[in-house]
């Protein structure tokens, strides 16, 4: 049995990646503050940031609920027992990671710290390499053509 057959990855990277991005943004913002927009744009961006955090909450909750309902693992390093294509997974193959990116970027807009926005993009790239690509291999090994058909219909991120 191949490693991709038994589980997606050896470590649940995404929470660590997104927490590291947020921590890095806080540290970098303290050591090397970047310029931010003035009024009234910063008020608008503040509101957009809160909408992004709200979207994170809704997307993450619905995605986790959908995974639990399907009876499959919610952990990035767990084995998939079902191919979930409904709920948020009908719009994005990775709604939980999309939500993680939204919350980190949203925190940047709320706090006026551009490092959050920059590191949100870095976190999404690292998540793709360390979690998404191995998960895709795992899902293909487990579900074959059914997964390939899903990949053709639904985008990776959004």
Q: What is the chain's mean pLDDT, rounded?
A: 92
Q: Is residue 37 part of a domain?
A: no
Predicted pLDDT of residue 24: 98
Q: Can you give the pLDDT at residue 1? A: 43
The mean pLDDT of 24-40, rounded to a whole number, is 93
Specify if 65 maps to a domain. yes
| Position 20 confidence tier, pLDDT thresholds 50, 70, 90 | very high
Counting the structural domains of the chain, the total is 1
pLDDT on residue 8:
64
pLDDT for residue 39 = 83
Q: What's the sign of the alpha-carbon dihedral 37, 41, 47, 49?
A: negative
More confident position, 8 or 31? 31
Tell me if residue 132 falls in helix, strand or coil: helix
Residue 158 placed within a domain: no
Domain-located, residue 34: no
User: How large is the average pLDDT for residues 51-79?
Assistant: 92
More confident residue, 76 or 47: 47
Determine, yes or no, domain membership for 32.
Answer: no
Cα–Cα dist 26/41, whole Å: 22
pLDDT score of 2: 47
Residue 31 lies in a domain: no
Residue bearing the bigger pLDDT, 156 or 39 = 156
User: What pLDDT band is residue 158 in, cutting at 50, 70 and 90?
Assistant: confident
Per-residue pLDDT tens over the stretch 85-112: 999 999 999 999 999 999 999 999 999 9
**Exposed, middle or buried by CB within 10 Å (0-12, 13-18, 19+), for 101?**
buried
Q: CA torsion sign, 16 to 18 to 22 to 28?
A: positive
Domain that holds residue 131: 51-143
């Amino acid at each position: 049995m191949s490693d991709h057959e038994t589980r997606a990855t050896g470590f649940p990277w995404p929470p660590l990646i997104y927490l590291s991005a947020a921590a890095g943004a806080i540290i970098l913002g303290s050591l090397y503050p970047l310029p931010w927009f003035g009024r009234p744009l910063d008020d608008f961006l503040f509101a957009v940031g809160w909408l992004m955090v709200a979207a994170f909450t809704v997307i993450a909750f619905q995605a986790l609920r959908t995974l639990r309902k399907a009876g499959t693992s919610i952990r990035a390093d767990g084995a998939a027992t079902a191919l979930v294509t409904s709920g948020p997974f009908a719009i994005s193959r990775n709604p939980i990671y999309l939500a993680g990116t939204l919350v980190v970027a949203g925190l940047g807009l709320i706090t006026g710290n551009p490092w959050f926005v920059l590191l949100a993009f870095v976190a999404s790239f690292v998540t793709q390499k360390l979690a998404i690509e191995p998960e895709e291999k795992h899902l293909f090994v487990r579900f074959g053509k059914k997964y390939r058909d899903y990949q053709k219909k639904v985008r990776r991120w959004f």
